[in-house]
Amino acid sequence: MADVIRVDGPRASFTCPGCKARHTIMIAPSRPGTPVWTWNGRKDQPTFKPSILVTGTWPITDDEADRIMAGEKIEPEPFRCHSFVTDGRIRFLSDCTHEMAGETVDLVPEARP
Ligand SMILES: [Zn+2]
């Protein structure tokens, strides 16, 4: 099977089908205090534990940028992506703010380098 994650030293990353963005987790200790996930060693059918929680805010749009420049106050929209990656599939928990909340789908194969 094709690889669905990239491993770079202590980091593993994958393209999140819910966020349409990459998520990166640590699979080996790097700095003290940084959380470390367990990994089953497979790039084609990875399992990570525990769950992966990503929070932040969506980048502002060009339209919002124009409105900010015009003096309007715009609050960036918060997002939350909470998932389990098991055997190469990603299960999105219901607290995700994106449209794939509650769904389980295959991870996307990595493009060949
Ligand atoms: Zn995500």
For 64, phi then psi, to 5°, come to -65, -40
Stretch 84-99: mean pLDDT: 97
Residue spans of the domains in the chain: they are 6-106
Residue 59, token pair as written in the block: 């980048």
How many C-beta neighbours within 10 Å does residue 18 have? 21
How do residues 9-45 score in pLDDT, each as one tens digit? 999 999 999 999 999 999 998 888 889 999 999 999 9
pLDDT at 113: 60
Q: What is the pTM of this model?
A: 0.84
Taking the centre of ligand 1 as the mean of its atom positions, its distance from the CA of residue 16, in whole angstroms, is 5
Taking the centre of ligand 1 as the mean of its atom positions, its distance from the CA of residue 48, in whole angstroms, is 14
Q: Tokens 């295959």, residue?
A: 106
Stretch 89-93: mean pLDDT: 98
Could you tell me which residue, 29 or 89, shows the higher pLDDT?
A: 89
pLDDT at 108: 92
Taking the centre of ligand 1 as the mean of its atom positions, its distance from the CA of residue 20, in whole angstroms, is 7
Residue 112 has pLDDT above 80, yes or no: no
Whole-angstrom distance, CA of residue 88 vs CA of residue 91: 10
Taking the centre of ligand 1 as the mean of its atom positions, its distance from the CA of residue 89, in whole angstroms, is 13
Residue 50: cis peptide before it, omega within 30 degrees of 0:
yes
Query: DSSP label at 107?
Result: P
Whole-angstrom distance, CA of residue 86 vs CA of residue 47: 4
